[in-house]
């Protein structure tokens, strides 16, 4: 299935980007003409990596994916979507526990911009449980993360954690 003429926005903190994020991205580039992965600058969150580091990692791991644009944004997602000409906001839905929050966000976005639709994408089964917080916690405790993130992300994660005192 392809949605001709449609641009989709996949917003997130991507702190760090995981194989689950990339799984959704790989499927979206087959569906949408334009696909934008945008790193959100959210002052209420305290990410491990700064925005530039997250952008750099995201560009490194999507470089071979035709049709992926990587960007950053601040403020309302729907305003950024309008600015970039995106008609669709893509959100990953891992488990039932994600549904309520995603449902509320989609409803609010519809109220703010009813011309922009939200599409909830399920990751492949092997990534249902995966999120960035879990990856960071496993890495902090010295566990292996190569099955969760690409090598460049694993390396950056190890370097970042080694430079911080916990």
| Active-site annotation holder among 21, 54, 91, 136 | 21
Q: Distance between CA atoms of 9 and 19, rounded to whole angstroms? A: 18
Q: Is 126 a catalytic residue?
A: no
| Active-site annotation holder among 45, 97, 111, 163 | 45
Q: At what angle do helices 51-62 and 19-31 cross, to 10 degrees?
A: 60
Q: Which two tokens stand for residue 142?
A: 């010295």
| Active-site annotation holder among 82, 84, 94, 110 | 94
| Active-site annotation holder among 34, 54, 91, 132 | 132
Sequence-separated (6 or more) residues with CB below 8 Å from residue 20? 92, 94, 123, 127, 130, 131
Q: Is 94 a catalytic residue?
A: yes
Q: Distance between CA atoms of 45 and 28, rounded to whole angstroms? A: 26
Q: Is 158 a catalytic residue?
A: no
| Catalytic (active-site) positions | 21, 45, 94, 132
């Amino acid at each position: 299935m392809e949605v001709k003429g449609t641009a989709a926005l996949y917003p997130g903190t991507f702190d760090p980007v995981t194989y689950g994020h990339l799984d959704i991205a790989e499927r979206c580039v087959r569906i949408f003409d334009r696909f934008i992965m945008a790193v959100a600058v959210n002052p209420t969150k305290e990410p491990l990596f700064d925005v530039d580091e997250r952008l750099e990692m995201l560009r490194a791991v999507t470089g071979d994916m035709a049709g992926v644009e990587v960007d950053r944004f601040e403020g309302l997602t729907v305003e950024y979507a309008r600015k970039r000409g995106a008609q669709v906001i893509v959100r990953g839905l891992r488990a039932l526990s994600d549904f309520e929050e995603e449902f509320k966000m989609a409803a609010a976005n519809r109220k703010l911009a009813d011309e922009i639709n939200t599409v909830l994408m399920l990751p492949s089964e092997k990534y249902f449980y995966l999120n960035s917080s879990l990856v960071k916690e496993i890495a902090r405790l010295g566990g292996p993360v190569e099955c969760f993130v690409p090598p460049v992300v694993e390396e950056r994660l190890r370097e970042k954690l080694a430079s911080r005192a916990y």
